[in-house]
Structure 1
Amino acid sequence: MSKKIRVLVNGARGRMGKEVVKAILNDPTLELVGAVDPAGTEEDAAVVAGLPACGVLLTGDLSDTIEASNPEVMVDFTIPQSVMGNIRIALQHKVSPVVGTTGLSEQDLQEIREWTASYETSCLIAPNFAIGALLMMRFAREASRFFPHVEIMEYHHDQKLDAPSGTAIKTAEAIQEERQKINQGHPDEEEIIAGSRGGEFEGMRIHSIRLPGLVAHQEVLFGGLGQTLTIRHDSITRESFMPGVIEAVQRIRSAKGLVYGLDKLIF
């Protein structure tokens, strides 16, 4: 039997973190060796996630926990304000980060590229781990060749800290690579309420909706002569992200440098 991949979960008390803990414990190819959360309660990570105790306790210091548990991969679902520090600590310890925390800028990504080269360790930044969302982005890019007029609507729970979502940004970037910038709508249109037309990106408009009851949803709406095309993906529960997280953990150690987007690993 092949050796299990040793995994640390950072943000293990969060909603996504608890799902990741469960997914790792239920996968025979992976071993949970560490669980970190700012609260650092020393509760059993599996019990916090709703499973029988596994013996891995929640701790509060990432660096100390990495040194004590010797993981190969760190899965990070934390907050934008701390994620860059988390990534650097992991890379310094030769641990490959698999990051679902969004809100990273292009400058941040460039800095991570430099870190992965310096520490010779791979890192995945994934705006979305749902396989259906990856296909939605891929289909949207293809559609933009024929329908250049497009608006993106993304819907998330009201506790999400960044807007637009990483998925919406990555979708817009994919469309940008396929079509030239165009000015959409009437040239003399006026926003009576500022922001009502959404954020502008290369001529596209991105709209962010935040409401309780939502998880993660996105529509890419294309308009053409006498027709529209809608490509939509819905994550109904956070379990939808777990197959992608597992794939990322299993593959990231064989990658090189910064990988931006789970699609780069699995397609």
Structure 2
Amino acid sequence: MKRFASLHRWMAPIKVAVAGATGKMGQEVIKLIQREESLILVGATARTQAGTDVGEAIGMGRLDVILTESLTDVLAQGPDVLVDFTTPSLVKSNTEQAIAYGVRPVVGTTGLTEEEIRALDQQCQEAGIGGIIAPNFAIGAVLMMVFAGKAARYMPHLEIIELHHDRKLDAPSGTALKTAELISKEREEQKQGHPEEKETLEGARGGYKDGYRIHSVRLPGLVAHQEVLFSDAGQLLTIRHDSLNRESFMPGVKLAVEDVMNRKGLIYGLENILDL
């Protein structure tokens, strides 16, 4: 049975570099590469511990890949793919540098505008390489977003509640915004709630999007969670996904790394490479 939208024709091991390798997501990517025979770690960047073996820096033992602060140095080593889980302030520059070197970007950092994503797609097209930016690499989360979009066609009264750890920099999350994008494709703008509703505490009703609300929760101990509530006469539908640890994102990262080897142009959202 066909599982994914594209066939993985690339047969040789894929050389991967990791930006932000000592961060929590970066460490999971390093572990993924080490356990997959089809992937080879060839470079890694970090803002601290430059000159240290990346494996020793994250407690995995020596991997014979030295951390550097310079992305240019890493790209010059000729990786096929750059996996980037850094920060919104770095990701645009990192992605542009990767494309300039002919290295395919796989980006999990959110914060890029639609205009910036279109520009990066054009750069990938001109370079003849593939790339992907995904607000969420957990396949279950992608299914949650897609199912929410389909549900909105029939139950247009809804609210989104996203919950993340308290170190997250952007609100609402990229996952919530991507969910809203998929909902907007199926649902016309429709203002909800009482027409004379007033907030007695600023922000109590969350952010406004096409008539409904998006709520962001930030608490220590959380990882990444989201639920979309749909309501109609006498019924409530809840579509929810929970990432309990960061390993949940790795199957999607592996899929994206393989997929971009056979693609031209940059896509936004993991759902575009799943056979849905």
- Quote the residue 1:51 is aligned against: 60
For structure 1, which segment, 110-119 or 200-209, has the greater mean C-alpha deviation from structure 2 after superposition?
Answer: 110-119
Q: Distance in 1 between matches of 2:127 and 2:181?
A: 28
Contact 1:40 1:61 in 2 (8 A): no
Within the candidate set 246, 256, 274, 1:248 is matched to 256
Where do 5+ consecutive residues of structure 2 fail to align?
1-10
* Match of residue 13 from structure 1: 22
- Match of 1:181, as an amino acid? E
Matches within 5 A, 1:1-267: 2-67=11-76, 69-267=77-275
Deviation of 1:158 after TM superposition, in Å, equals 0.4
- TM-score, scaled to structure 2: 0.94
Distance apart, 1:96 and its partner CA: 0.3
Structure 1: unaligned runs, 5 residues or longer: none
Separation (CA, whole Å) in 2 of partners of 1:29 and 1:195: 48
Percent identity, aligned pairs only? 52
Alpha-carbon distance, 1:120 to partner: 2.3
Which 4+ runs in 1 deviate beyond 3 A?
none
Query: Match for residue 8 of structure 2?
Result: none
Q: Distance in 1 between matches of 2:125 and 2:263?
A: 12
Q: Which amino acid aligns with 1:59?
A: T
Displacement of 1:102 after TM fit? Answer: 0.7
Kept in 2, the 8 Å contact 1:74–1:90? The answer is yes
Inter-partner Cα distance in structure 1 for 2:142 and 2:125: 27
Tell me how far 1:40 sits from its aligned partner.
Answer: 4.9
Q: Which amino acid aligns with 2:59?
A: G
Q: Secondary structure at the match of 1:228?
A: strand
Give the deviation of 1:47 after TM superposition: 2.3
Q: State the AA in 2 paired with 1:53.
A: R
Residues 239-261 of structure 1, C-alpha deviations (whole Å, 9 max, x = no match): 00011101111111111211111
* TM-score (structure 1 length as normaliser): 0.97
Aligned-residue Cα RMSD (Å) equals 1.2
Distance in 2 between residues matched to 1:47 and 1:26, nearest whole Å: 16
CA distance in structure 2 between the partners assigned to 1:50 and 1:263 by the alignment: 33
Corresponding pairs, count: 266
What letter corresponds to residue 189 of structure 1 in structure 2? Answer: E
